[in-house]
């Protein structure tokens, strides 16, 4: 067995289970009201006849069987809001896939990928889909990534999917391992992924020259840890300003009680795969004595947005976790960059409907100059961690925000079981395109999502 010089796997598996890469494999699931779609491949016997077997979960009835003639299939006519199990086999019975689980029902938007909370397909990383990232390629195709999460789990696997029809339909591309909290972005004719190796692991970057199909082993930029304080990030915007690239990260850990905020930067013409070309500001921690700070416990700010203010300053616009303070929601923190290596300083703490207790993403409209933010809006003071309403807000002055559109409003749902959260979004002509970490219809809970969904806000400037 030779060593690995690449980051991509189809699929990733333990070294002791390498037969999985040569057996039938179900690589994508997408349930709907009365059925489900799935995608599969078999690198070990691509020309052999295959069949799909499925039945209601827990049933004593024999599995129904039908030919699997195409790599993408749709099963119709099933009971809504019911759980099914399925597998794929070679018709000569020489090999079969692992058993997969799926639940029919109503799901918002277009499903990029689905994972049942009791499905062990990705147990080497976790059980829930998390951290969606979205990029539009120059040719028009969309790529979406997501990692596989579970508290206390390994948390080191990312799945990559592609759409060639504007997000209506998605296909599997590859797995990346180890890769967590990754952000896809395009720069100078190449696709990049900036990620951590695991929760609080090393900060790494890799580059794909074939639109995400293959990836060389990543370069390590900054060291982290595992189980202690280290690098923290989310799929936040990577922006270009005055011939430099900027994005935001943090350093800390929940168990340590803090996250300190940092800005990454690099010359736009530099080699992004050379660690010595990168700069990171010295970490700065939330200070409860800041003007406008909330009253009560607050572990600080995470998941900041790199954004240029109206006066041309490079800023870090952050979510603040203050669900146990007063007020319990509705704030955001703006830090201002003072230099590539020195700590940022407070610019202002502002009111923001989507700025607290959950990630939001902010960008500036290049035509109108209006700032747009999409995130989870709290509409019930009794549930400050509520994520049942996903809203678009705008600001014309960088500090005063108003809700102009609600993408999803399920406020009547149980806020402990339903969540629309952690979006990544992009401009697409006159539209906004959004990928969302979605927990509905049998998810483990509102936080531990069972699918990543795609949404489009058509003609968004009419909302401004």
Task: Take residue 112 and report the two structure tokens written for it.
Answer: 């990029």
pLDDT score of 17 more than 90? no
Mean pLDDT of the chain: 96
| E strand intervals along 24-69 | 25-32, 35-41, 50-56, 64-67
Find the helix or strand (DSSP H, E) in which 333 lies: strand 331-336
Q: Would you state the CATH architecture of domain 8-103? A: Sandwich (2.60)
**What's residue 18's pLDDT?**
80
What pLDDT does residue 331 have? 97
Cα separation, 259 vs 461, in Å, equals 35
The confidence band for 437, taking pLDDT boundaries of 50, 70 and 90, is: very high
Residue 2 has pLDDT above 90, yes or no: no
Mean of the pLDDT values across residues 186-208?
97
Query: For residue 113, what are the contacts with CB-CB under 8 A and spacing of at least 6?
Result: 28, 29, 30, 129, 146, 159, 161, 170, 451, 452
Sign of CA dihedral 148, 71, 169, 139: positive
Q: List, in sequence order, every residue forming a beta bridge with 103; answer none if it has no partner.
A: 83
pLDDT at 434: 98
- Contact criterion met (CB below 8 Å) for 454 and 163: yes
pLDDT band with cut points at 50, 70 and 90 for residue 154: very high
Q: pLDDT confidence of 194, banded at 50, 70, 90?
A: very high
Q: Which residues pair with 251 in a beta bridge?
A: 231, 260
Q: What is the mean pLDDT of residues 293-312?
A: 96
> Does residue 390 contact residue 419 with C-beta atoms inside 8 Å?
no
The DSSP secondary-structure symbol of 17 reads G
Predicted pLDDT of residue 1: 78
Identify the band that residue 28 occupies on the pLDDT scale cut at 50, 70 and 90: very high
Q: Which contiguous run of DSSP H or E holds residue 196?
A: strand 190-196
Mean pLDDT throughout 76-82?
97
Distance, CA of 464 to CA of 1 (rounded, Å) = 58
Domain at 110-463: CATH code: 2.120.10.10
Q: What is the mean pLDDT of residues 199-222?
A: 98
Question: SS3 breakdown of the chain: % helix, strand, coil, rounded to 5?
Answer: 5, 50, 50
Distance CA 40, CA 372 (A): 38
Structure tokens, 253? 């850990």
Q: CA 152, CA 107: separation in Å to the nearest integer?
A: 28
Q: Is the dihedral of CA 350, 355, 359, 361 positive or negative?
A: negative
- Of the pLDDT bands very low, low, confident and very high (cuts 50, 70, 90), residue 19 is confident
* pTM exceeding 0.95: yes
Q: What's the pLDDT at 21?
A: 83
- Alpha-carbon span 279 to 197, nearest angstrom: 19
Cβ atoms of residues 438 and 446 within 8 Å: no
**pLDDT 10s digits, 90-109:** 999 999 999 999 999 999 99
Nearest to 127 by CA among 136, 137, 118: 118
Q: What is the pLDDT of residues 110-151, one digit of tens each?
A: 999 999 999 999 999 999 999 999 999 999 999 999 999 999
- Which pair of tokens denotes residue 240? 């270009």
- Residue ranges covered by each domain of the chain: 8-103, 110-463
Output the pLDDT for position 139. Answer: 97
Q: Are 248 and 232 in contact (CB under 8 A)?
A: no
Q: Residue 237 and residue 447: Cα distance in Å, rounded?
A: 22
- Residue 450: predicted pLDDT: 98
Closest C-alpha among 158, 366, 234, 388 to residue 375: 388
Q: What are residue 144's phi and psi, to 5 degrees?
A: -130, 135
Find the mean pLDDT for residues 233-241: 98
- Per-residue pLDDT at 227: 75
CA distance 219 to 205: 5
Picking from 58-62, 131-135, 184-188, 370-374, which range would have the lowest pLDDT averaged per residue? 58-62
pLDDT of residue 425: 98
Give the percent of the chain with pLDDT over 70.
100
- Contact partners, residue 78, CB within 8 Å, separation at least 6: 34, 35, 36, 84, 104
Res 342: pLDDT: 96
Q: Can you tell me the distance from the alpha carbon of 375 to that of 422, in angstroms, rounded to the nearest whole number? A: 7
Distance CA(180)–CA(157), nearest Å, equals: 6
Mean pLDDT over residues 361-388, rounded?
97
């Amino acid at each position: 067995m030779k060593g690995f010089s690449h980051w991509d796997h189809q699929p990733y598996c333990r070294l002791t289970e390498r037969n999985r890469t040569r057996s039938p494999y179900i690589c994508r699931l997408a349930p709907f009201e009365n059925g489900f779609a799935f995608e599969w491949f078999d690198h070990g016997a691509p020309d052999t006849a295959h069949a799909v077997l499925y039945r209601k979960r827990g049933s004593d009835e024999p599995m129904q069987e039908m030919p699997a003639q195409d790599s993408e299939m749709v099963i119709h006519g099933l009971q809504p809001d019911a759980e099914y199990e399925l597998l794929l086999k070679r018709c000569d019975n020489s090999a079969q896939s692992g058993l997969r689980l799926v639940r029919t029902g109503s799901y918002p938007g277009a499903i990029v990928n689905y994972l049942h909370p009791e499905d062990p397909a990705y147990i080497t990383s976790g059980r829930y889909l998390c951290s969606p990232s979205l990029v539009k390629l120059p040719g028009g195709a969309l790529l979406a990534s997501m990692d596989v999460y579970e508290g206390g789990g390994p948390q080191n696997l990312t799945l990559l999917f592609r759409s060639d029809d504007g997000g209506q339909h998605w296909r599997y591309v590859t797995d990346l391992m180890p890769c967590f909290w990754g952000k896809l972005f395009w720069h100078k004719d190449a696709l990049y992924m900036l990620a951590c190796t695991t929760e609080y692991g090393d900060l790494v970057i890799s580059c794909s020259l074939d639109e995400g199909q293959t990836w060389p082993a990543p370069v390590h930029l900054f060291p982290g840890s595992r189980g202690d304080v280290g690098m923290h990030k989310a799929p936040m915007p990577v922006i270009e300003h005055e011939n430099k690239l900027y994005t935001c990260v943090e350093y800390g850990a929940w168990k340590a009680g803090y996250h300190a905020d940092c800005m990454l930067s690099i010359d736009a013409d530099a080699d992004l795969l050379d660690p010595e070309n990168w700069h990171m500001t010295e970490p700065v921690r939330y200070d409860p004595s800041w003007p406008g700070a909330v009253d009560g416990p607050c572990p600080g700010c995470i998941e900041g947005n790199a954004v240029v203010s109206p006066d041309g300053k490079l800023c870090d616009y952050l979510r603040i976790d203050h669900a146990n303070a007063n007020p319990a929601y509705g704030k955001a923190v703006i830090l201002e960059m003072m230099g590539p290596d020195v700590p940022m300083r407070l610019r202002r703490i502002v009111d923001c409907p989507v700025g607290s207790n959950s990630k939001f993403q902010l960008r500036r409209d290049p035509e109108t100059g209006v700032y747009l933010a999409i995130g989870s809006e709290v509409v019930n003071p009794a549930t400050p961690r509520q994520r049942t309403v996903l809203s678009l807000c705008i600001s014309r002055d960088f500090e005063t925000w108003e809700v102009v559109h609600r993408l999803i409003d399920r406020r009547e749902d149980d806020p402990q079981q339903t969540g629309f959260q952690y979006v990544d979004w992009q401009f697409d002509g006159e539209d906004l395109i959004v990928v969302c970490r979605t927990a509905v219809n049998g998810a483990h809970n509102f936080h531990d999502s069972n699918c990543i969904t795609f949404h489009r806000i058509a003609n968004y400037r009419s909302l401004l």
